[in-house]
Structure 1
Amino acid sequence: MMKALVVVAHGSRREASNEEVRELVARLDESAGGSFAVVCAAFLELAEPSIPDAIVDVIDQGAGHVTVLPYFLSAGRHVATDIPAEIDKALVRRPGVEIHLAGYAGSSKAMLPLLLNLAKS
């Protein structure tokens, strides 16, 4: 079964910030070692593609399993409520596909060493 990864960021009015996310996702795709056939960025608001559009796009490319990875630091309203609601919108458009909502970036145990490394640099 073809797997896809959709990395979700908030989105910004500042296009350079959105492009920074897209570039990060491209590097993630390169380092994923083929774990996902398709890796793309999506945005909750203020930028394209939207979460449902990105999910539908990877499904239309053949993905039967989609992992949605929130690129957020805390479990605020966007992570707890908004992103799941956007996933539900995609499921209405493409029912029957397995969609997994991964943990948000800030919940990773790798965050503590990362922050310490940044502080020391």
Structure 2
Amino acid sequence: MQTAILLVAHGSRRDEANDDLVKLAKMFTEATTDEIVEVGFLEIAHPSIPEGLQACAERGAESISILPFFLSPGDHVTRDLANFRDRFLAQTPQIACHVCPPIGLHSKLVELMLLRLSEGRQLATEVAGETE
């Protein structure tokens, strides 16, 4: 069975923010070489979520996992993504499709945030040293 991952983010007017999802998709492609990996944005940026789902289908996906690049299970994850899934399934009932949980609270998230805290403090120290 050909499976696919649709990485989903909110979408931003800043290209740099949207580029992160594209870079993440490349990382997923390298890590999961046997899966189709596509991206979709909830709003503002392209491809949209329906376009991303369609791209997965056109590439031969028989099952699609919608994987949100969101921290919390807010309305976008719990309601909006389910609506996109349901509309897709109504048009393509032969393809299985489900929404995965968001990143959420996880012990690895604490490790990552402590790393970012350390990096931020180091940067602040360097900037303060430059201004003295």
TM-score after normalising by structure 1: 0.88
Aligned to 1:43: 41
Deviations along 1:44-79, whole A, 9 cap, x unmatched? Answer: 000111112211221121110111100001111101
SS at match of 2:110: helix
Identical residues among aligned pairs (%): 33
> Are residues 1:4 and 2:4 paired?
yes
Judging by fraction of residues, say which structure has more helix.
Answer: 2
Aligned to 1:80: 78
Aligned Cα root-mean-square deviation (Å): 1.5
Aligned runs of 1:1-121 on 2, under 5 Å? Answer: 1-32=1-32, 34-36=33-35, 38-121=36-119
How big is the shift at 1:21?
Answer: 1.5
Deviations along 1:74-111, whole A, 9 cap, x unmatched? Answer: 11110111111111121122112111211101244421
Moved more, 49-58 or 108-117: 108-117
For residues 54 and 105 of structure 2, the distance between their equivalents in structure 1, rounded to whole angstroms, comes to 27
The residue type equivalent to 1:75 in the other structure is P
The residue type equivalent to 1:81 in the other structure is R
How big is the shift at 1:4?
Answer: 0.5
Q: Whose RCO is larger (CA < 8 A, sep 6+)? A: 1
Residues 22 and 87 (structure 1), Cα distance of their counterparts in 2 relative to 1, 3 Å cut: same
The residue type equivalent to 1:114 in the other structure is L
Residues 49 and 4 (structure 1), Cα distance of their counterparts in 2 relative to 1, 3 Å cut: same
CA contact (8 A) 1:56 1:93 kept: no
CA contact (8 A) 1:26 1:40 kept: no
CA contact (8 A) 1:56 1:94 kept: no
- Which is greater in Rg? 2
Q: Which consecutive unaligned segments of at least 5 residues does structure 1 have?
A: none
For residues 19 and 92 of structure 1, the distance between their equivalents in structure 2, rounded to whole angstroms, comes to 30
